[in-house]
Amino acid sequence: MCGIVGYIGKNECLPVLIDGLERLEYRGYDSAGIAISNGCKIYCAKSKGRVTELKKKISRKKCIGKLGIAHTRWATHGEPSEVNAHPHSGCEKKIWVVHNGIIENYQTLKNDLEIKGHKFLSQTDTEVIAHLIEELYDGDLTVAVKKACLHLNGAYAIVAIHADEPDKIVATKFSSPLVVGIGKEETIFSSDISAIVGRTKDVIYLNDGDIAEATKSGLKIINSDKNTVKHNVFSIDWNFDQVQKNGFEHFMKKEIFEQVDSIQNSIRGRLDLQKGIVRLGGLESVRDRLADIQNIIIVTCGTARHAGLVGEYMLEEFARIPTEVEYASEFRYRAPVLNNRTAVIAISQSGETADTLAAVREAKKYGALTIGIVNAVGSTIARETDAGVYNHIGPEVSVASTKAFTSQLVILALITVMLGRQRNLSSIEASNIVQEISQLSIKIEDVLKIDRQVRELADKYIDSQNFLFMGRKYNKPIAQEGALKMKEISYIHAEGIASGEMKHGTIALVDDKCPSLFVCPHDSVYEKNISNIEEIKARGGRVIAIATEGDLDIANLADDVIYVPKVLEMLSPIITVIPTQLLAYYMAVFKDRNVDMPRNLAKSVTVE
């Protein structure tokens, strides 16, 4: 996997392809390549490393044409190298493909093709696709791609071109995202709308099994039943300016500071402050079913899972609905007990996370009500769930999620109030929560004033090789999220645990070289957290505390204190997580890490 771009149209394609690749750089990748048809033959260039390295290798004299494909690769099969970079071709160098996903039966296919005389150059599963299409090609690329897909097991988004058909690009997908941009006399394929938004705002999301054929005369889509179909055209609701740094050194820093506005965007039009109720239009069609559900399962991965863990506390305390949070990657390999009175909530910023999508599909088999919390309009999870709520926060570019996470927390709070009011949550308590939600942006603005203090703290602790993050109740998941951020972008080992579990093993790590960060607002478990801090101090450990403004007692106990505004306990994670985001950010900056594109990571994980 990582980023796909394909173009056919009235313009020279090289600038379009390179621009598209550069806009996809935020997804994380290790090599890049292009293939362009000049009408007679196809010119290909590849490089290990960044797109800037690819640009150095391109011959602009040879790279002339109005049809081409390009790719940034995040290694799955085979090491990062020029030979493993996409695009890949068949033996005759006529068919060229780019591919995201994993072909699970590639080795079997490769063995069969080698018996038939095909010679392979790379270690990738993708090269098998090119040779398979070549083997099946009989003058029509569309037919050959369709036949090839019948042999493929796994996930794929494929875009293919052929030297003998210089007026055609063919694309298809299964369990991996692919979007088509519809411009003026041009068609653009991409795995991500970021590569498209600069040229058109009109896009089509392909369904699994679709075969899209783009020529200079237009676009035709054939579905898995061999019928020509028309898809809904979505209008992208954000512009290219939103994926610029706007004076910030990194996208992550920009997105941390954007949380003042992103939270407001997530709640806009959804709160009735006078009546103390929440209106979620995306759930209106399933409102009656929601009133009847008996349990909730939240399926998600990574940072979004930590949002789900906070949501579990919210939903059980205020909506009184038994709730579990499951690793999406494990969900379908259990034997989940589901029925039509179970709601399965899938959380994914991109709406394309492969494991989360697979969990949704598993839940639907059992008749469960499926709900999506996603940011990307028209994404696969948004289309395949029964109902859902959009984040409405605009693009999140940095691999390390920040504003999407706090938006997910807010939406879970909104869902909690809505479900709680259907049950026994009083109007007074609901009004209190709604009022507090409406003030979150103001309080986030206050939190961000600690930026300089956190920078100084990062400088103080920069030599630490290990970090412990601890919290209780609503802020236990924030300890886990803080540790994840520290690992993701600074590459410092960190563990996030429940404070009460610390003495069941983890306390063995405590010494003066392993700082402990406690998320310790003045809440219902404050005294318990204080006891745990004292246990750390008694063993010579250094403590950083995230505490509520006005808490002077903790300053006498902790080595360093970061103060945040007081907020309702269930909403405190939205406030307390921000210092952990800033701390991880500055630790990474001081260690000269690639903050927005940390090593080995990808923004949208579209393979299992």
The residues carrying an active-site annotation are: 2, 603
Helix (H), strand (E), coil (C) string for 379-401: CHHHHHCCEEEECCCCCCCCCCC
With beta carbons less than 8 A apart as the criterion, state whether 468 and 497 touch. Answer: yes
Distance between CA atoms of residues 576 and 520, nearest Å: 9
Torsion of CA 257, 263, 268, 274, to 10 degrees: -120
Distance between CA atoms of residues 482 and 243, nearest Å: 25
Torsion of CA 283, 364, 354, 346, to 10 degrees: 30
- Give, rounded to a whole angstrom, the gap between the first and last alpha carbons of the chain: 11
Letter string b/e over residues 3-38, b meaning 16 or more CB atoms within 10 A of that residue's CB: bbbbbbbeebbbebbbbbbbbbbbbbbbbbbbbbbb
- Residue 564 DSSP SS3: strand
Triad 519, 448, 586: Cα angle to 5°: 75
Distance between CA atoms of residues 453 and 155, nearest Å: 46
Q: Can you say whether residue 302 is alpha, beta or left, with left for phi > 0 and alpha for psi between -120 and 50 degrees?
A: left
The structure tokens 């919290």 sit at: 471
Torsion of CA 319, 325, 328, 329, to 10 degrees: -170
Letter string b/e over residues 499-518, b meaning 16 or more CB atoms within 10 A of that residue's CB: bbebeeebbebbeeebbbbb
With beta carbons less than 8 A apart as the criterion, state whether 436 and 568 touch. Answer: yes
Number of helices (H) and strands (E) in the chain: give both, helices first: 19, 27
Cβ count near 602 (within 10 Å): 19
Which stretch of DSSP H or E encloses residue 493? strand 493-498
Distance between CA atoms of residues 268 and 287, nearest Å: 20
With beta carbons less than 8 A apart as the criterion, state whether 16 and 199 touch. Answer: yes
The structure tokens 């930026």 sit at: 451
Which stretch of DSSP H or E encloses residue 446? helix 440-447
Q: Can you say whether residue 527 is alpha, beta or left, with left for phi > 0 and alpha for psi between -120 and 50 degrees?
A: alpha
Distance between CA atoms of residues 144 and 170, nearest Å: 10
Q: Two tokens at 455? A: 């920078």
